[in-house]
Amino acid sequence: MRLNLVAETQDLGHTRIAVSPLQNLVIGFWGHQPSREARAWQRARRRLVPHAAAPLLELINAHPWYVPDFLTPVLPAPRDGAGPSFATELEALRSLTEARILEDLRYVDALPRAPRSVRELREGSGRRLAGLVDGARSLFRACLAEDWPGIEQRLRADIAQRGAQMATAGPASMLSGLSSRLTWRDDATLTLTFNACRRTHGPEERTISLSGHGLLLMPSPFTGPDSLAITGSVTSSRQAVIAYHATAPTPGPAHGRDALTVLVGRGRARALRAVQGTATTTELAGRLGVGKSTASEHASALRAAGLITTHRAGRSVRHTTTELGRRLLADGGPLD
């Protein structure tokens, strides 16, 4: 299938790149032709998947090429460029309207037999949606929270590379380098070519205007090295979202021979990495996938060790890494 995205001048100006924990959670557990990295990650965490996440996983994998768009709501990036926290994304998911949910189930409805999770959403979307939100939270805590600081570091490194390319060579050059499946034509048309497994029962070629909404690009380690995934609806009323493979190397997760973990402990090491220079207690909780009280405990321990400072900013409490904290983060890789 060929999908032509016709861009206007303002579309390139509105192109942005963001990190999404929920997006990566969904892509990481998509089971239809996942990348090699995603398969290895899924196998390693299969035994950790909580029972509460079963309806969510069923919905993610109900269709061979389509994941309901409402599972990955598009949010504006915060001013500090940190991207939405997982907690913020879950709240956006919880607040979706029934009409939006039913609209996004249209492709799944065309299947010969709709999964139970889909039928239950249609019968009582509000109550079932709350269950999906709880399932996503438990799945993140059990399977992705420990690895997320390292993954996010990789994604931010990739964003820095893409941003520099976009600034020096322009958005069109950056877009053309995402995948061989994406080409840019002089008539301001992006063309995406999908594998046969992603074909629909509709026309082999489809052309859609971005209508000035621009593109939202999201890096992920779980997409294939030369693959792309459109995880947002490409319509006249929604921004097109393209998930692409992050090329920056992945830092190793904090395990037994991680120097920072040896010095401050596994939980505190994760928390210090999650501060990422500065974070409020709410942001820290979202990045770690824990409650605010737990995040506050981590922050207190890091502050007592001289690794962060804390000050009140309006109604929020903001934490910032100290010089000692930054040095430990720089030098706290695997031990020899």
Q: Which CATH number belongs to the domain containing residue 311 in this structure?
A: 1.10.10.10
What pLDDT, on the 0 to 100 scale, is given for residue 174?
82
Helix (H, G, I), strand (E, B) or coil at 243: strand
Looking at the fold, whether 49 and 139 belong to one and the same domain comes out as: yes
What pLDDT, on the 0 to 100 scale, is given for residue 192?
67
What pLDDT, on the 0 to 100 scale, is given for residue 102?
84
Residues lower than pLDDT 70 in the chain? 1-4, 7-9, 12-13, 76-83, 124-126, 186-189, 192-206, 231-237, 248-259, 262-263, 331-336
Looking at the fold, whether 212 and 172 belong to one and the same domain comes out as: yes
What pLDDT, on the 0 to 100 scale, is given for residue 35?
81
Domain housing 52: 2-245
Looking at the fold, whether 241 and 303 belong to one and the same domain comes out as: no
Q: For residue 229, give Cα distances in angstroms to 6, 68, 136, 182, 216.
A: 18, 13, 20, 11, 12
Q: Which two tokens stand for residue 60?
A: 């993610």
Domain finish residue from 245, 273, 306 = 245
d(CA 151, CA 154): 5
Looking at the fold, whether 233 and 324 belong to one and the same domain comes out as: no
Domain finish residue from 191, 212, 245 = 245
Residue 336 within a domain: no
Strands 240-245 and 215-220: parallel
What pLDDT, on the 0 to 100 scale, is given for residue 16?
81
Looking at the fold, whether 263 and 237 belong to one and the same domain comes out as: no
Looking at the fold, whether 233 and 319 belong to one and the same domain comes out as: no
Residue 254 within a domain: no
Looking at the fold, whether 130 and 48 belong to one and the same domain comes out as: yes
* CA angle, residues 26, 28, 32, in degrees to nearest 5: 90
d(CA 220, CA 148): 11
Looking at the fold, whether 239 and 268 belong to one and the same domain comes out as: no
Q: Which of 311, 324, 240 is nearest to 278 (CA)?
A: 311
What pLDDT, on the 0 to 100 scale, is given for residue 309?
92
Are the beta carbons of 84 and 93 closer than 8 angstroms?
A: no
Domain finish residue from 206, 221, 245 = 245
How many domains does one find in the chain? Answer: 2
Looking at the fold, whether 95 and 202 belong to one and the same domain comes out as: yes
What pLDDT, on the 0 to 100 scale, is given for residue 335?
40
Residue 82 within a domain: yes
Q: What is the largest CA-CA distance in the chain?
A: 62
What pLDDT, on the 0 to 100 scale, is given for residue 253?
45
Looking at the fold, whether 309 and 184 belong to one and the same domain comes out as: no
Are the beta carbons of 70 and 108 closer than 8 angstroms?
A: no
Residue 251 within a domain: no
Residue 188 within a domain: yes
Residue 253 within a domain: no
Residue 77 within a domain: yes
For the four alpha carbons of 93, 222, 148 and 274, in that order, the dihedral sign comes to negative
Looking at the fold, whether 215 and 282 belong to one and the same domain comes out as: no
Are the beta carbons of 53 and 136 closer than 8 angstroms?
A: yes
Residue 252 within a domain: no
Looking at the fold, whether 58 and 177 belong to one and the same domain comes out as: yes
Q: Which of 186, 207, 173 is nearest to 2 (CA)?
A: 207
For the chain, what is the total number of helices (H) and then of strands (E)?
16, 11
